[in-house]
Structure 1
Amino acid sequence: MKIQTKYIGEVEINKEQIITFPTGIPAFEEEMSFVLYPLEEQSPFLVLQSTKTVEIAFILVNPFDYVDNYQVKLQDATKEQLHIEKPEEVATYVVLTVKEPFSETTANLQGPIIINARTNEAKQILMSDSDYTTKHKIFKQAAKTGKGE
């Protein structure tokens, strides 16, 4: 099956690539079918693209590569809803808000996207009882150099 994507045009996908959000994504409840693909070759950034609406695509990243000691505790209800049987089935991503310059880009650590890699069922969860924010800067600030600072 072919779909139009926001960032790379038309792509061929197969049913096994489709990730299903049974209840949609908050603010996009009607969007339940997505595919995940790399933004660019060898890029750590991924695109979560709606299979239904070209304009709905989110840039994701694995938070564990950018945030020290990031932790996600899944509620039993989420595990049941996504049919998660083992921890190794869980893939965790966070949505980026891309900014100019790119070094100012932030991540929503409070609302990670959880995917069961075995079943391709997914859900965006809300960790409101954590210290994480929706606008966490993920890039380490370069050390300032120069005299008089």
Structure 2
Amino acid sequence: MQIKTKYLGDLSIHEDRVIQFPDGLPGFPNHKQFILLELPGNPVFNILQSIQEKDLAFIVTSPYHFYSSYAFDLSQSIIDRLQIETESDVDVLSIVTIAEPFSKSTINLKAPLIFNIRKKYGKQYILNDVDYPIKAPMTSSQKVKGE
């Protein structure tokens, strides 16, 4: 299928790569289909692109690249909603806010994106029981609470 993207122009994608967000994303409840795209020349960051809306795209990364001890428990409702059967089904990414200079960019640790990579389901999970910031620094010299 053909899609228009915010950062990479028109692309041809395979429908089996589309990730279903049954509840949409907070603030975007009607956008339920996304795809993860590689950010050319950068193995650390990806693009979470809506397949319905060209301008709805987020830069994402694994929070573990920046915070190796980042940890939280998934609620049973998330496990059920995403049909997670084993730990290997799960991938976690966080939305990045890019700033100038890049050293001022932040990562959202409070609301990670949880994926069932086998079944292609996703959900943004707001952590109410853990004190992680929405705008955590992305420099290794800084720590968040709990690090």
State the TM bucket, normalised to the shorter chain.
over 0.9
Letter in 1 for 2:97: T
Determine the C-alpha separation between the residues in 2 that align with 1:42 and 1:128: 32
The two structures have a TM-score, normalised by structure 2, of 0.93
The two structures have a TM-score, normalised by structure 1, of 0.92
Deviation >2 Å, runs of 4+? none
Structure 1 residue 92 displacement after superposition: 0.2
Counterpart position of 2:17: 17
Structure 1 residue 141 displacement after superposition: 4.4
Letter in 2 for 1:91: D
1:38–1:44 Cα contact (<8 Å) kept:
no
Structure 1 residue 138 displacement after superposition: 1.5
1:99–1:105 Cα contact (<8 Å) kept:
yes
Counterpart position of 1:76: 76
Structure 1 residue 72 displacement after superposition: 2.4
* Unpaired stretches in structure 1, ≥5 consecutive residues: 143-149
3-state secondary structure, aligned to 1:45: strand
Counterpart position of 2:39: 39
Determine the C-alpha separation between the residues in 2 that align with 1:141 and 1:99: 18
Determine the C-alpha separation between the residues in 2 that align with 1:125 and 1:36: 17
2:72–2:130 Cα contact (<8 Å) kept:
no
3-state secondary structure, aligned to 2:43: coil
Structure 1 residue 41 displacement after superposition: 3.1
Structure 1 residue 131 displacement after superposition: 1.4
Structure 1 residue 90 displacement after superposition: 0.2
Q: Which has the larger radius of gyration?
A: 1
The superposition leaves residues 87-138 of structure 1 with CA deviations (integer Å, 9 ceiling, x where unpaired) of 0110100000110001111011000000001000000000022110100002
- For the aligned residue pairs, the C-alpha RMSD in angstroms reads 1.2
The superposition leaves residues 48-86 of structure 1 with CA deviations (integer Å, 9 ceiling, x where unpaired) of 000000110000000111103100210001000000000
